[in-house]
Each structure stands twice: as C-alpha cells, then as structure tokens.
Amino acid sequence: MSNTLFDKVWDSHVVRKIEGGPDVLFIDRHMVHEVTSPVAFLGLKSRGLKVLYPERTFATADHNTPTINQHLPVADPLSANQLKALESNSKEHGISYWGLGHQKNGIVHVVGPEYGITQPGATIVCGDSHTSTHGAFGAIAFGIGTSEVEMVLTTQCIMQPKPMKMRININGKLGLGVTPKDVALFIISQLSTSGATGYFVEYAGDVFENMSMEGRMTVCNLSIEMGARGGMIAPDETTINYVKGREFSPKGEAWEKALAYYKSLKTDVDAIFDKEYTFDGSTIEPMITYGTNPGMGMGISNAIPKAGEVEGGAATFAKSLNYMGFQEGEAMMGKPVDYVFIGSCTNGRIEDFRAFASIVKGRKKADNVTAWLVPGSHIVEKQIQEEGLLDIFQQAGFTLRQPGCSACLAMNDDKIPAGKYAVSTSNRNFEGRQGPGSRTMLASPLVAAAAAVTGVVTDPRTLIQ
C-alpha cells in the first residue's frame, strides 16, 4: 500500500491502537519550557510518578526571559519563580536544562534544530503550538497541552487520534523580495485560520525544495496558524547537510543507519491525501496582515478587502478592523509604524537577520520607530556578530537584544504599548498578543526592515538594490 511521509513516521511510532479512540503514540524527543511545564511536574509529584526517559527531554527557558541584562536577576517575581521551577524540576528529574545565561539557552524551536535534537522521521512534541517548526526536517512535530506534557514525562507517549492528511504544492519561481514568511502568510490567507484544522500538512514542490532549512522552519512553524496540527517537508540533501555533525545527531555507525532511514522518508508516488491544494509560487507578493488573525493577510500592494469579499461573519470582520483602526478598502502602504520587531521562533534565525540587514545597510532607522532585534539563540547572536551584521545594524541606528521569545507574546517587559502599530516578524496578530491594546501587522524580515527605515508600511521591493 502507498503511504505518505506522514503515514510512515506516524505508523512507525504507534505503540497501540485503541478501538474507537486515539492512538498511543511514542515520542522520540520532548522539549519543555518554563510556562507550560510546572503544572505537569506538579502532577507527577501528586501522583508519585517519575520521568521515564529523562534523556529524551530537553528544557530551555525562553517565554518569560528578559532580552536585556540577562546577567542580572529577573526582576519580575512571578517570572523568576517560573524560571526557578523549571530549573529545580529539571534537576530533580535529571533533564538537560539550558536556563538563562547557559550558552545553549534560546527559543526552544531555534535551539532544538541547532543542537540536532530535531531529527528527520522523529516524533517531537513540546507544550507550545509552534513545535510544528521541527516538521521542516521531515519530523512529526506538534504542540501539546500541559496534561500531555505530564504524559510524555512519565510514559514518553501521548494519546492522539491520527489527523487527516493534506498536501500543499507550490511550484514556480518566487519573485523579488518574496521570502518563506510570505509563502506561509499567502497560504494561510488562502486557507483561512481554520482551513487546515484536523489535518497534518505536507509541503511539496520546488518552492520548498529550493528553500534553506531556516526557510522551511519558518513555513512549518506557521502551519498551526491555519489550524493544522503540524506541517512537514520530506528530508533531502539540504536537510541531511544541516543535521550532520550536530551535538545530538547520531554519529559513526548510528549515523549511517540513520541516513538510510532518512532517505526512505518520502511520500510514495501514488499515495492519497484527504485534501490537496496547488498554488503558483510566481504569483506570491510580499505579504502583510491587516487584521487580528494570521489569515487576514494580503499582498502588500493590495487594498484591505471589504467585508463582503471575505469568508466569515461581517460582525467579526468589523470588530477586527475596528481594533486595528483600519477601514475596509484602504491601502496598507504608507500606514505609520511605531514599532518593528524581528525575532521569534518564526523569524529569529540567521537568515532573517541577513535579510533585515540587506535593507537597512547604508540607511538609517526612522526616528518614529522603536525597533527590537531579538536573536533566537546565542548561536544566532554570535553569527550576527561574526558576519558583520551587527556593525550594519549599529551604523543604521539599531541595537541587538539577547535571545528569547520577547515581544512575540510579550510575557516579559517587551510589550508594544496600547494603540501602537507594530510590524512584526512573529506569528500572531491576535488582539493584545504583543501587549494589551497592541496592533500587530505580521510580515517578513524584509517588510519589517523596510518599515524600520521608512517609518511607514513600505514595499521592500522598492528598497532592494
């Protein structure tokens, strides 16, 4: 029987199938952070349970951490308490812990791949919906709730009904200034924020084949924003070259064995998907969102659609535009921007900072813009310095902060003030996501850079030399 990539990985991890119920799915690698894990550890304690395979779980602190002065004690007592809980829980259960100040500390979905925790064909979970990022390697990776974190800690399994399968094919040459983020925002704008709910997505076609691992991670990261549990891309030479030699990657004989497995990970030619979409990559423009969910995106040169042109209720659409302070039918270009945020598990990797630098080089930050540049990890931070990007940023009037989730969800002090407009390379433009009352426009690092130097929403293609 013909199988999809997803079937192959899922089926080989099923410990037991329950009649009229979910599958018991074995989890190869588990990542935890400070926000969604403390109650899971408490649950273990109250039931008198232990962690079954501590070597399969990795802990890093990212959601709550400050992005300046990380050498100082964390000022907010609640955040400090959560960070302390992660440290003591990790130590008590023998779990690798990469806390604040540790050289491996960073955003969980940035450091996981960097250290080779992420492997093709693996099952990977974390109490964070953007765990879908790791699907870029041909892994089945998805976000789970805290009860499931507890399950994985104590049994290395969760119970999940097998999702339906969707394939999204995009072929063609991407235009000037069109990045993986634009491809993802385009797909979500076509499918809506719930269009892939109940599905696991495979991305296929030369647009994805030609992408770097960083780009593939950006695309898979955003799978959850159209409702999909996760998204994946078949491993190829690009994947194998990235994975090889990383700290937690298989070595020696184990690597040869793994390599044979990785090469088997592709969808059979006549495998059937429950749903399939095909788009032409050459029609995608640099994208920007105008509303309060990631499905409310458009080509940057277009006008905001009218209520009658979009799916969904008119009242919900009106509420969204009212929150943003926008009118239907008006242009996005030229709208004033107060804040620019580049970072997050979506766009906090080296390639994103290279893209940002390509626009700001030789220009100056606009006076009306506050810009937060937040690398996803210390490796990214170091690369920024070594490649000379930091000099470019500093000459243009930008400073670099320290790694963490930062303004993506504004759990730390990096909050966009009420009513202010932010062009953000993160993943969610929900009401108040980046701070109470904040107004977010999601976009690529190029669009963010164009806004940062002009102070308004600007088509980056006009600034590319």
Check residue 325 for interaction with another protein (CB under 8 A).
no
**Residues 248, 243: Cα–Cα separation, whole Å:** 9
Q: Which of residues 267-306 bind another protein (CB under 8 A)?
A: 293
Q: Does 75 bind another protein (CB under 8 A)?
A: no
Rule CB under 8 A: is residue 193 a binding residue for another protein? yes
Residue 296 or 340 with smaller CB distance to another protein: 296
Q: Whose CA is closest to 166, among 301, 11, 5?
A: 5
Asked whether position 308 contacts another protein by CB under 8 A, the answer is no
239 near another protein, rule: CB under 8 A: no
What span, in angstroms and rounded, lies between the C-alpha atoms of 85 and 368? 40
Q: CB 351 → another protein: shortest distance, Å?
A: 25
**Inter-axis angle of helices 350-360 and 378-386, nearest 10:** 40
Judged by CB under 8 A, does residue 323 bind another protein? no
Q: Token match 């302070």: residue?
A: 325
Q: Which of 94, 313, 362, 388 binds another protein (CB under 8 A)?
A: 313
The residue among 400, 398, 448, 405 whose CA lies nearest residue 423 is 448
What are the distances in angstroms from CA 103 to CA 240, 263, 402, 403?
A: 25, 32, 12, 11
Compute and round to an integer the Cα radius of gyration of the chain: 21
Please select the residue that binds another protein; options are 251, 319, 363, 461, rule is CB under 8 A. Answer: 319
What distance separates the 2 farthest-apart alpha carbons in the chain?
63
Q: How far is CA 14 from CA 162, 163, 363, in A?
A: 10, 13, 54
Region binding another protein by CB under 8 A among candidate stretches 102-110, 223-231, 382-390, 393-401: 223-231
Q: Does 65 bind another protein (CB under 8 A)?
A: no
Per CB under 8 A, 38 contacts another protein: yes
With CB under 8 A as the contact rule, the residue among 94, 145, 336, 388 that binds another protein is 145
Q: Are 131 and 124 in contact (CB under 8 A)?
A: yes
Residues 399-458 close enough to bind another protein by CB under 8 A: 409-411, 418, 428, 430-433, 436-437
Please name the residues in contact with 88: beta carbons below 8 A apart, sequence gap of 6 or more: none
Helix (H, G, I), strand (E, B) or coil at 321: helix
In the complex, the smallest distance separating the C-beta of residue 236 from another protein, rounded to whole angstroms, is 19
CB 151 within 8 A of CB 125: no
Q: According to CB under 8 A, which residues from 152 to 191 bind another protein? A: 154-161, 163
Residue 85 CB neighbours (<10 A): 16
Looking at the Cβ atoms of 43 and 175, the one nearer to another protein is 43
Q: How many residues bind another protein (CB under 8 A)?
A: 78
Site map 371..400 versus another protein, x via CB under 8 A = ------------------------------
Given a contact cutoff of 8 angstroms between Cβ atoms, the answer to whether 320 and 291 are in contact is: yes
In the bound complex, what is the minimum distance in angstroms from residue 176's beta carbon to another protein? 32
Considering the complex, what minimum distance in angstroms separates the CB of residue 84 from another protein? Answer: 9
Q: Distance (Å, rounded) from C-alpha 408 to C-alpha 63?
A: 9
For the record, the structure tokens of 90 come out as 């990790």
Q: How far is the CB of 412 from another protein (least distance, A)?
A: 9
Establish if 264 lies at the interface with another protein (CB under 8 A): no
- Does position 143 interact with another protein (CB under 8 A)? The reply is yes
**At its nearest, how many Å lie between another protein and the CB of residue 197?**
6
Distance CA 36, CA 65 (A): 14
**Sites for another protein among residues 45-64 (CB under 8 A):** 47, 49, 52-53, 63-64
**CA 312 – CA 166 distance, rounded (Å):** 22
Question: Among 39-47, 213-221, 343-351, 353-361, which window interacts with another protein (CB under 8 A)?
Answer: 39-47
Using the 8-state DSSP alphabet, how is residue 78 labeled?
H
Per CB under 8 A, the list member of 151, 207, 217, 321 interacting with another protein is: 151
